């Protein structure tokens, strides 16, 4: 307890002189005071600047002390040296709003972030810098990473945003979940970690750096834990605090998968269990998940919604009772914070699956945690002179070691139901996207098959592979009716096959298996046949050792089987390439671009044709409820409003999986409490209010499959 007294003295002497952030084995120390900090992740580009103040206020009302965010390099530097800190990427504004609300910020610079974000946040152009190899002891990578990290740190410093400067940032992060990669690659990984730690430390931010999920994080970096539970984690040095940087409040959704949820009783249990075991910092990942607008979703097949079953839902509304129950937990932790920061717990074991943790510093205050780990049975526990009742899988927190202020499984917060109420339908016009001809000037002829990203540099999801195939009139299949079998092997992620401009089929992969094979008998004619393959990416990999080397697109082989000659290999013949769609080149999703072509309307609107652009205009509904498009019935494509990308839609990709009953008790994993099996993985697509004008908003969709837009409705989200 000597340490504590010393700190109290410290506090009086130094706090008036200079704001400081440091740490010891118990906690982060801000201005001489140890703190138990509750934090939540809100990623600024996953909402709009107009939403930020309300999200931050709801985080504060929910009892958070800190808001944590990643920094999204590929959003900030879309091409080398060309920076973007505007709009949703206005990082300084976001941090200043956190400060104005009286909260702290935890800035995870990365700059690799994972985050179900395209390419894990690294710019695609970075891959093509000569000699580049990501996240290892590689000079080009280290130079680029240092340059961007310095840029961000200097920007924060010049705005006085670090705590010692009077700002809100109390902590940063370098790299992200590097442990598993280092384990994989060995020595160069170790050298890189050391370099990253040293580089970051040298930037002299005046606040601690963390390295999450990295057991060997070099001093003075604090290694921290990410997971559903972290009570068993201990930092790598006895003088570092025990921190939980990502407590997963739910899980992401993939196209083709159901919607994961996590019961709040179990989240509160994970928090209480962590805190009673010396934990002093908990960050909810996510506190507000938000939306992967445009083409920012990454990791393959990640949905546009990044709701995450977070305490604040995708639309910015409270997800009750999750938000309220955690607020009650946070106010309880605040109540007992003086005891928690001043003593180690004394642990006793009153029965099987039962524990009592008592924090009783000399000052006379006292806090106790009574735990019942049994997943099936409730428990009666005697403590002091009182009997306490604990539901299964729950922890009670006692103020003054007497009053039960909170039990993780006893929810007092209200439950609310949300619904989507239709407020508008549309009259559509159409524009047909044609398969290009290899004669067009913007096609590129090459021998053989090329990896998709190498050709598109991710300027578009779409890459055409075009070839011509000569068929002799003497082929036997003309007489026996056995059309040849076309087989196309692709590294992913989706593929539309056209033969002589007629759609022959569509195939797609999944997050677990992005590779795909098209194999179908195709109707060919005598003479020249056009084979047009539209390969579609659905977000780039965000995780895995050297994920930058993962392939996308058609790498072959491509064969035609059942000709007189046997099987013809088309893999090494001439292929022409065209990046993107005509409609993208014309900017059909923008106001100017959309008026550059003739759209069909009325009775001649395109009927069930693949690759069709649809547009309409609409007025914003009155009120301020959040809005969304109900895309049920549509195939796959993208949506824009007034030129802003809402994201990829794919309601035809239905949720496969197991949606069995969900109990809050017992160890949770992301497959445990799934919902909406058999329904679209994502049906509703958020359109932020601030993107709308009162009248004449331009809504454009590009539909790949040929579904009719007649059922699309604008809906309000109401409680
Ligand atoms: C808390 O930390 C102290 C000091 O490191 C240690 O002795 C004790 O075992 C820890 N208690 C728990 C419950 O983790
Ligand atoms: C990328 O494309 C270029 C031609 O544009 C080619 O020379 C190079 O070999 C390709 N690289 C890979 C890895 O496919």
Residue corresponding to tokens 């970690």: 193
Residue 344 CA, closest ligand 1 atom number: 1
**Helix, strand, coil % (nearest 5) of the chain?**
20, 30, 45
- Ligand with minimal distance to 237 CA: 1
| Beta carbons within 8 Å of 520's beta carbon, 6+ residues apart | 485, 486, 497, 504, 505
The CB of 215 under 6 Å from ligand 2? The reply is no
Domain ranges for the chain: 25-243+259-293+309-320, 338-414, 419-430+586-718, 434-580
- 699 forms bridges with which residues in the sheet? 616, 641
Q: Whose CA is nearest to atom 5 of ligand 1?
A: 238
Q: What percent of the chain has pLDDT over 70?
A: 97
Calculate how far, in angstroms, residue 293's C-alpha sits from the geometric centre of ligand 2.
30
pLDDT value for 228: 98
Residue 444 CA, closest ligand 2 atom number: 5
**Contact predicate 323/286, CB 8 Å:** no
Residue 326 pLDDT > 70: yes
- Ligand with minimal distance to 340 CA: 1
pLDDT value for 78: 98
**Contact predicate 405/398, CB 8 Å:** yes
Calculate how far, in angstroms, residue 445's C-alpha sits from the geometric centre of ligand 2.
13
Q: Taking every pair of C-alpha atoms in the chain, what is the biggest distance, in angstroms? A: 99
pLDDT value for 9: 39
- The 10 Å Cβ neighbour count of residue 82 is 8
Q: Whose CA is nearest to atom 7 of ligand 1?
A: 344
pLDDT digits (tens, 9 = 90+) for 262-315: 999 999 999 999 999 999 999 999 999 999 999 999 999 999 999 999 999 999
Helix (H, G, I), strand (E, B) or coil at 471: strand
Calculate how far, in angstroms, residue 450's C-alpha sits from the geometric centre of ligand 2.
7
Phi, psi for 75 (deg, rounded to 5): -80, -35
Mean pLDDT of 167-194: 98
The CB of 550 under 6 Å from ligand 2? The reply is no
The CB of 345 under 6 Å from ligand 1? The reply is yes
Calculate how far, in angstroms, residue 454's C-alpha sits from the geometric centre of ligand 2.
6
- Ligand with minimal distance to 369 CA: 1
Pairing of strands 37-42, 66-70: parallel
- Ligand with minimal distance to 355 CA: 1
Calculate how far, in angstroms, residue 402's C-alpha sits from the geometric centre of ligand 1.
23
> Which one of 116, 163, 175, 246 is the catalytic residue?
246
Domain 419-430+586-718 grouped into CATH 2.60.120? yes
Calculate how far, in angstroms, residue 248's C-alpha sits from the geometric centre of ligand 1.
24
What CATH number does domain 25-243+259-293+309-320 carry, 3.90.470.20, 3.40.50.10210, 3.20.20.80, 3.90.180.10? 3.20.20.80
- Give the strands of the sheet with 627-630, arranged side by side: 419-424, 713-718, 627-630, 684-687
Confidence class for position 438, pLDDT limits 50, 70, 90:
confident
Helix (H, G, I), strand (E, B) or coil at 378: coil
**Contact predicate 700/584, CB 8 Å:** no
> Which one of 116, 163, 177, 644 is the catalytic residue?
177
Mean pLDDT of 355-364: 96
The CB of 454 under 6 Å from ligand 2? The reply is yes
Is 265 one of the annotated active-site residues of the chain? no
The CB of 450 under 6 Å from ligand 2? The reply is yes
**Contact predicate 28/208, CB 8 Å:** yes
Is 337 one of the annotated active-site residues of the chain? no
The CB of 457 under 6 Å from ligand 2? The reply is no
Q: Whose CA is nearest to atom 6 of ligand 1?
A: 344
pLDDT digits (tens, 9 = 90+) for 443-492: 999 999 999 999 999 999 999 999 999 999 999 999 999 999 999 999 99
* Gap between the Cα atoms of 172 and 221, Å rounded: 10
The CB of 277 under 6 Å from ligand 1? The reply is yes
* Gap between the Cα atoms of 537 and 555, Å rounded: 14
pLDDT value for 440: 86
Q: How far is CA 49 from the centre of its chain?
A: 18
pLDDT value for 11: 43
Phi, psi for 39 (deg, rounded to 5): -135, 160
- The 10 Å Cβ neighbour count of residue 37 is 23
pLDDT value for 87: 98
Residue 347 CA, closest ligand 1 atom number: 13
Q: Which of 272, 284, 281, 275 is nearest to 372 (CA)?
A: 272
Calculate how far, in angstroms, residue 488's C-alpha sits from the geometric centre of ligand 2.
20
pLDDT value for 628: 98
Calculate how far, in angstroms, residue 470's C-alpha sits from the geometric centre of ligand 2.
27
The reported pTM is 0.96
Q: Do domains 25-243+259-293+309-320 and 419-430+586-718 have the same CATH topology?
A: no
pLDDT value for 501: 95
**Contact predicate 306/299, CB 8 Å:** no
Q: What is the mean pLDDT of the chain?
A: 96
pLDDT digits (tens, 9 = 90+) for 213-252: 999 999 999 999 999 999 999 999 999 999 999 999 999 9
- 483 forms bridges with which residues in the sheet? none
- The 10 Å Cβ neighbour count of residue 310 is 25
Mean pLDDT of 631-656: 98
pLDDT value for 298: 96
Tokens (6 digits) for 410: 């006893």
Mean pLDDT of 352-375: 97
- 568 forms bridges with which residues in the sheet? 560
Calculate how far, in angstroms, residue 392's C-alpha sits from the geometric centre of ligand 1.
25
The CB of 684 under 6 Å from ligand 2? The reply is no
| Beta carbons within 8 Å of 682's beta carbon, 6+ residues apart | 253, 255, 303, 304, 305, 649, 650, 651
pLDDT value for 10: 42
Q: Whose CA is nearest to atom 14 of ligand 1?
A: 277
pLDDT value for 13: 41
CATH architecture of 434-580: Sandwich (2.60)
pLDDT value for 1: 36
pLDDT value for 603: 77
- Ligand with minimal distance to 550 CA: 2
pLDDT digits (tens, 9 = 90+) for 29-82: 999 999 999 999 999 999 999 999 999 999 999 999 999 999 999 999 999 999
Residue 618 pLDDT > 70: yes
Residue 278 CA, closest ligand 1 atom number: 1
Q: Whose CA is nearest to atom 3 of ligand 1?
A: 344
H-type alpha helices, 15-117: 52-61, 73-76, 91-100
* Gap between the Cα atoms of 341 and 361, Å rounded: 9
Q: How far is CA 197 from the centre of its chain?
A: 25
């Amino acid at each position: 307890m000597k340490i504590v007294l010393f700190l109290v003295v410290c506090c009086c002497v130094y706090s008036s002189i200079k704001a400081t952030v440091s740490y010891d084995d118990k906690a982060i120390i801000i201005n001489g005071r140890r703190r138990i900090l509750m934090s939540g992740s809100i990623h600024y580009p996953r909402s709009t600047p107009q939403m930020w103040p309300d999200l931050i206020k709801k985080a504060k009302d929910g009892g958070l002390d800190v808001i944590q965010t990643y920094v999204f390099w590929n959003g900030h530097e879309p091409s080398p040296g060309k920076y973007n800190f505007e709009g949703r990427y206005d990082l300084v504004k976001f941090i200043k709003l956190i400060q104005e609300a009286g909260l702290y910020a935890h800035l995870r610079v990365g700059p690799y972030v994972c985050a179900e974000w395209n390419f894990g946040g690294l710019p695609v152009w970075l891959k093509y810098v000569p000699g580049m190899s990501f996240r290892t002891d590689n000079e080009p990578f280290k130079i680029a990473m240092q340059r961007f990290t310095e840029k961000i740190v200097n920007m924060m410093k010049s705005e006085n945003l670090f705590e010692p400067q009077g700002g809100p940032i109390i902590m940063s992060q370098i790299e992200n979940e590097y442990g598993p990669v280092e384990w994989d690659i060995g020595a160069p990984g170790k050298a890189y970690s050391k370099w990253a730690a040293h580089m970051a430390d040298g930037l002299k931010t005046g606040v601690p750096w963390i390295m999450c999920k990295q057991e060997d994080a070099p001093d003075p970096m604090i290694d921290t834990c990410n997971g559903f539970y972290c009570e068993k984690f201990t930092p790598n040095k006895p003088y570092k605090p025990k921190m939980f940087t990502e407590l997963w409040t739910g899980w992401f959704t993939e196209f083709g998968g159901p919607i994961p949820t996590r019961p709040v009783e179990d989240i509160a249990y994970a928090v209480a269990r962590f805190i009673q075991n010396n934990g002093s910092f908990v960050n909810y990942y996510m506190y507000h998940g938000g939306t992967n607008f445009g083409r920012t979703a990454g990791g393959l097949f990640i949905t546009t919604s990044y709701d995450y079953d977070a305490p604040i839902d995708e639309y910015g509304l409270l997800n009750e009772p999750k938000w309220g129950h955690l607020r009650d937990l946070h106010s309880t932790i605040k109540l007992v914070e003086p005891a928690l920061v001043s003593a180690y717990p004394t642990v006793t074991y009153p029965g099987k699956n039962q524990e009592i943790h008592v924090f009783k510093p000399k000052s006379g205050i006292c806090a106790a945690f009574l735990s019942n780990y049994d997943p099936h049975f409730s428990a009666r526990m005697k403590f002091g002179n009182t009997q306490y009742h604990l539901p299964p899988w729950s922890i009670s927190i006692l103020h003054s070691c007497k009053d039960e202020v909170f039990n993780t499984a006893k929810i007092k917060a209200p439950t609310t139901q949300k619904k989507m109420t239709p407020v508008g339908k549309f009259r559509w016009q159409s524009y047909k996207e044609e398969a290009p001809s290899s004669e067009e000037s913007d096609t590129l002829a090459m021998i053989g098959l090329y990896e998709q990203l190498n050709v598109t540099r991710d300027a578009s999801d779409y890459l055409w592979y075009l070839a011509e195939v000569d068929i002799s009139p003497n082929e036997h299949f003309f007489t026996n009716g056995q059309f040849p079998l076309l087989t196309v092997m692709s590294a992913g992620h989706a593929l539309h096959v056209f033969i002589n401009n007629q759609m022959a089929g569509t195939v797609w992969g999944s997050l677990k298996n992005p590779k795909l094979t098209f194999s179908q008998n195709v109707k060919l004619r005598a003479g020249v046949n056009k084979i047009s393959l539209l390969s579609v990416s659905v977000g780039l990999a965000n995780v895995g050792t050297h994920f930058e080397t993962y392939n996308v697109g058609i790498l072959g082989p491509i064969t035609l089987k059942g000709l007189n000659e046997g099987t013809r290999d088309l893999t090494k013949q001439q292929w022409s390439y065209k990046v993107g769609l005509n409609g993208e080149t014309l900017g059909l999703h923008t106001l100017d671009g959309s008026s550059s072509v003739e759209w069909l309307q009325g009775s001649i609107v395109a009927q069930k044709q693949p690759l069709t652009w649809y547009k309409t205009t609409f007025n914003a509904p009155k009120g301020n409820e959040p809005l969304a498009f109900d895309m049920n019935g549509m195939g796959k494509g993208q949506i824009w409003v007034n030129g802003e990308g809402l994201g990829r839609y794919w309601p035809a990709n239905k949720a496969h999986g197991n949606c069995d009953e969900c109990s809050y008790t017992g160890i949770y994993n992301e497959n445990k409490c799934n919902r909406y099996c058999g329904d679209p993985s994502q049906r509703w697509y958020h359109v932020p209010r601030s993107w709308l004008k009162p009248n004449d908003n331009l809504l454009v969709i590009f539909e790949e499959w040929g579904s009719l837009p007649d059922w699309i409705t604008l809906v309000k989200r109401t409680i």
